[in-house]
């Protein structure tokens, strides 16, 4: 699955007031892993910043004066996001601005004509109702390093959001098993394979070392911290209690 984590910086808070995009930052994920491909452009908005916006981004009209306009990078940007699932924090904000930029061009349509969108703000609100779910708050809650985020920058924020998204959506579905060839198999696939009596008969016996057991315990603790609970960990605790009771 191809995903693109996206962020924008703008001259103000409302695209309906004529504010423009001044930076686009994108990070590509393939099967939830960064590929190293990014897209980042500063843009000349051809207008002034609203009060406060310039301080947030650290950008200025002077710095952006020789940068391309959105029209000059639109096709390259659209090609980068084509067919991907976009990961955006507060998607309505960024999509509103990007669609407003596209509306100024002929025949470009809207972002959702080309992509689907996952809004991490909505995901966070479902998981942490009643709590602060800004990007900085999620970084602190999920243990994501955002120490470089002194100012808002689209590419930096997209890189941070990629880490937040992976942490926010990881859980027991992330557990994988490796076969003798080293290729990874998901837990679901492993369960399906295990249903075969012939395969089960050929399955090698593996002895668990103390190091393996410690790594297993650390992984379960991480899953419990990120997801709020870990059924495997709870099952092991119940089994341990039963052994103690029987002893």
pLDDT tens for each residue of 166-217: 999 986 344 443 444 444 444 334 333 344 444 444 444 445 667 667 667 7
Domain boundaries, the chain: 2-169, 171-203, 207-247
Q: 233 CB contacts (<8 Å, ≥6 apart)?
A: 220, 221, 223, 224
- Residue 67 neighbours by CB distance under 10 Å: 16
How crowded is residue 229: how many other Cβ atoms within 10 Å of its Cβ?
11
The pLDDT assigned to 153 comes to 86
Q: Which of 58, 126, 116 is nearest to 91 (CA)?
A: 116
Q: What value does the mean pLDDT take over residues 109-127? A: 97
In this structure, the strands spanning 116-119 and 85-88 are parallel
* pLDDT at residue 233 in the model: 64
Residue 1 has pLDDT above 80, yes or no: yes
Q: What are phi and psi of 153, to 5 degrees?
A: -135, 135
Ranked by mean pLDDT, the top range of 42-56, 112-126, 136-150 is 112-126
Average pLDDT, the chain: 81
**Does residue 232 surpass a pLDDT of 80?**
no
Residue 55 is predicted with a pLDDT of 86
The CATH superfamily assigned to 2-169 is Ribonuclease H-like superfamily/Ribonuclease H (3.30.420.10)
Confidence of residue 6 (pLDDT cuts 50, 70, 90): very high
Q: Is 89 a residue of the active site?
A: no
Residue 96: how many other CB atoms lie within 10 Å = 17
Residues in contact with 136: Cβ distance below 8 Å, sequence separation at least 6, in sequence order: 146, 149
pLDDT of residue 183: 42
Q: What is the mean pLDDT of residues 99-106?
A: 97
Query: Rounded to two decimals, what is the model's pTM?
Result: 0.69
Q: Which of 63-67, 109-113, 135-139, 184-188 has the lowest mean pLDDT?
A: 184-188
Residue 164 pLDDT level (bands cut at 50, 70, 90) = very high
List the structure tokens of 198.
């012939």
Q: What is the pLDDT of residues 11-60, one digit of tens each?
A: 999 999 999 999 999 999 999 999 999 999 999 999 999 988 888 888 99
**Six-digit token string for 141:** 């809650």
Chain position carrying tokens 């061009």: 105
pLDDT mean over 86-99: 98
Strands 21-30 and 2-10: antiparallel
Which of 89, 108, 141, 152 does the annotation list as catalytic?
152
Q: How far is it, in rounded angstroms, from Cα 118 to Cα 138?
A: 16
230, with CB counted inside 10 A (0-12, 13-18, 19+), is buried
Can you tell me the mean pLDDT for 51-75? 94
Q: What is the Cα–Cα distance from 136 to 161, expressed in whole angstroms?
A: 10
Q: What does the angle CA 41 – CA 24 – CA 45 come to, to the nearest 5 degrees?
A: 75
Whole-number percent of the chain with pLDDT over 90: 62
């Amino acid at each position: 699955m191809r995903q693109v984590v996206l962020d924008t910086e703008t001259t103000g808070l409302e695209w309906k007031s004529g504010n423009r995009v001044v930076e686009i930052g994108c990070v590509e994920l393939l099967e939830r892993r960064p590929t190293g491909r990014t897209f980042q452009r500063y843009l000349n908005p051809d207008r002034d910043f609203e009060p406060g916006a310039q301080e947030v981004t650290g950008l200025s009209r002077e710095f952006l004066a020789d940068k391309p306009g959105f029209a000059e990078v639109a096709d390259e940007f659209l090609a980068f996001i084509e067919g991907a699932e976009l990961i955006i924090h507060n998607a309505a904000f960024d999509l509103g601005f990007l669609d407003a930029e596209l509306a100024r061009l002929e025949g470009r349509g809207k972002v959702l004509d080309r992509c689907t969108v996952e809004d991490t703000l909505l995901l966070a609100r479902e998981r942490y109702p009643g709590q602060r779910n800004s990007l900085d708050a999620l970084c602190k809650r999920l243990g994501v390093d955002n120490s470089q985020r002194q100012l808002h920058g689209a590419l930096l924020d997209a890189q941070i959001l990629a880490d937040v998204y992976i942490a926010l959506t990881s859980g027991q579905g992330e557990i994988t098993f490796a076969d003798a060839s080293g290729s990874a198999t998901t837990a679901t696939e492993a369960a399906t394979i295990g249903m075969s009596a012939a395969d089960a008969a050929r399955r090698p016996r593996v002895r668990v070392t103390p190091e393996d057991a410690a790594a297993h315990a650390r992984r379960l603790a991480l899953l419990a911290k990120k997801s709020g609970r870990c059924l495997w960990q709870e099952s092991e605790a119940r089994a341990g209690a039963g052994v103690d009771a029987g002893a």
